[in-house]
Amino acid sequence: MRNILRCIGIVCLVSTLAGCFSSTSPEEVVLVDKKEEVPMVVSEQIHELLRYLTNRDGYLKDSVLLTEYSLMQEFYEKNGYHPIWSEADHWKPAGDSLFFMISQATSYGLFPSDYHHPILLEIRNKIILDSVSRKNAALWARADLLLTDACWKMAHHLKYGHLNRDSITIRKDSAFTDEEKLNLLGSLHRNGQVQTMLNRLEPKHKGYQELKKGLAAFLAKANFQPVESIQYPATDSMAFVQQVGKKLKAMGFLDSSWVAGDDSLVFAKAVKKYQSSKGIITTGFVAQLTVASLNTTDWDYFKTIALNLDRYRQLPDTMPETYLWVNLPAYQLEVMDYDTVALQSKIIIGTPKTPTPVLNSSITNFITYPQWTVPYSIIFKEMLPKIRKDIQYLAKENLMVVDRYDSVIAPETIDWNKVNKNSFPYLLRQRQGDDNSLGVMKFNFRNKYSVYLHDTNARGLFSRDNRALSHGCVRVQKWEDLSHFLVRNNEIRYHPDTIRALIQRQEKKTIGDFPQVPIYIRYITAAGADGDIRFFPDIYEEDKRLKERYFASKSNNP
């Protein structure tokens, strides 16, 4: 009996030791003297590492996580645990190519640290510079698994980006399936065309390609080191101008020979050029917004570019032949027709307190001489205090009170002091005409926010640089051109003169017998232009929110 218990104890001890061994960190140095034996030992090391990763939920070290360890186990097991990226004591061309792409990840708006770049660089330097390290099978095994994990992650980011799928993501797919990942790795293992295959995953959208082209120029002159901040307000005006000039010269907006005290017109021209490139009102004077922009580091600008590349990655692989593209921070609407800009117009958008939503929809119809039904939010937040103060406010704003049967109610019969959200069974409507807030045309598209495109009775506002002025709807400067474009294929019935006649007669008419045109309202704060990048203001602080969520931990040493 004593012997049986002793045997049971030994078995338990062996089992415990085996369990401990499987979770013990694998050897970091396993030297193989004979070159021909390296592949076999590397395969054994890969097998051991995968077992270790399984017991550690993918953590190679506390700070190194291989998220796809279970899928790796499946692929490497089918492949006999042979390495994918190396051969004997040297890298395969595919391994070199993938490491190069990881090192240059910033050129794709990605972050090298996401793909194990620091540890891969350390391993690579050891193997290239040290003949003993080239015999270390454990080093080759670790590099292989790290590269595989990096390959899958980079493929995902190139096609889908970092942002989570949301209501405006048009892609039907939002992530690679396990089968797609295995097929991708298998193809790369067979043909070695790493850069070609990964580049194919990028969006083909023109805006993406132009922004990426501008990114190359940005990176060529970017300085990711900490920079001196300009203090504002300044106590020494000459020193202030000198500091601003130094930054403008470093960014190429001011000639390097310029010094403080030289031609002030040259300095103002450089300031205007800088302000225009950053979406700031072009005054030529350096005030708070311009100083804040000058104090923004290149690293932060890079994150802005990366964020906007990711926004393009939310689009489908193929866009419709014809669509409306509304970019809120640029205050601009474009009509795209067969990859050509058929129409471009200034727009006015919602204020930061009443932002215009990003959305996808389709233009269904447009109305000449529309009536404006005032949203309850505007009635109770803005109009009610003014009505209580002076009931003539309604007449001055061309507003009428109507009930649910569209019958006009005399405003004097209502006790406005007792009106609240629960005791107001009426609507406020603005009579159609030149004084109507919608102007003389309104474009409808289905959406849950009750917003639309429309003309305006305050057309002078289009001359402003800052046009975040509306309650959420989008006012279009070239509304007439847009209406002509929508009915362009039915000129017999809707000749431009026909629409103009309707407006001249002040006739209300709904026109909807044309193919619906998709509309995409987007928030793009960095756009490529002539090989450079133009930045637009983060009006609604969406960039700030998303950077904090996705990029806060990214190192500024790419």
Other CB atoms within a 10 A radius of the CB of residue 18 amount to: 9
pTM of the full predicted structure? Answer: 0.85
- Over residues 539-555, the mean pLDDT reads 93
Q: Which of the residues are catalytic?
A: 454, 473
CB 443 within 8 A of CB 452: yes
- Over residues 517-537, the mean pLDDT reads 95
Phi first, then psi: what are they for 319, rounded to 5°?
Answer: -90, 160
Q: In terms of DSSP bridges, do strands 532-535 and 408-409 run parallel, antiparallel, or are they unpaired?
A: unpaired
pLDDT of residue 19 exceeding 60, the answer is no
DSSP H helical ranges for 91-136:
93-103, 117-129
474 bridge partner residues = 453
What's the confidence (pLDDT) of residue 239? 86
| Pair (471, 338) in one structural domain | yes
State percent of the chain over pLDDT 70.
95
| Pair (195, 330) in one structural domain | no
Whether 9 is covered by a domain: the verdict is no
Q: Cis before residue 316, ω within 30 degrees of 0?
A: no
Of 153, 177, 199, the residue that ends a domain is: 199
pLDDT of residue 155 exceeding 90, the answer is yes
Whether 169 is covered by a domain: the verdict is yes
Of the ranges 5-14, 193-202, 251-260, 268-277, the best mean pLDDT one: 193-202
Whether 394 is covered by a domain: the verdict is yes
Whether 298 is covered by a domain: the verdict is no
Token couple for 220:
């060529």
Please report which confidence band the pLDDT of residue 9 belongs to, taking 50, 70 and 90 as the band edges.
very low
- pLDDT digits 0-9 by tens, 419-471: 888 888 888 988 777 678 899 999 999 999 999 999 998 999 999 989 999 99
Please report which confidence band the pLDDT of residue 159 belongs to, taking 50, 70 and 90 as the band edges.
very high
Please report which confidence band the pLDDT of residue 211 belongs to, taking 50, 70 and 90 as the band edges.
very high
Please report which confidence band the pLDDT of residue 209 belongs to, taking 50, 70 and 90 as the band edges.
very high
- Over residues 343-369, the mean pLDDT reads 96
- pLDDT digits 0-9 by tens, 35-71: 889 999 999 999 999 999 999 999 998 889 999 999 9
What's the confidence (pLDDT) of residue 292? 86
Domain containing residue 463:
317-522
pLDDT of residue 91 exceeding 90, the answer is yes
What does pLDDT average to over the chain? Answer: 90
What's the confidence (pLDDT) of residue 147? 98
- Cβ partners under 8 Å of residue 540, min gap 6: 328, 352, 355, 523
Whether 542 is covered by a domain: the verdict is no
Whether 13 is covered by a domain: the verdict is no
> Of residues 327 and 287, which shows the higher confidence score?
327
Distance spanning both ends of the chain, measured CA to CA? 66
Whether 235 is covered by a domain: the verdict is no
Of 199, 216, 250, the residue that ends a domain is: 199
| Pair (187, 323) in one structural domain | no
CA distance 445 to 452: 6
> Of residues 539 and 25, which shows the higher confidence score?
539
- As for how many domains the chain has, the answer is 2
State percent of the chain over pLDDT 90.
65
Other CB atoms within a 10 A radius of the CB of residue 185 amount to: 21
What's the confidence (pLDDT) of residue 257? 84
Q: What is the CATH number of the domain that holds 473?
A: 2.40.440.10
CA neighbor of 106 nearest in space, from 279, 277, 207, 224: 224
| Pair (368, 514) in one structural domain | yes
Whether 383 is covered by a domain: the verdict is yes
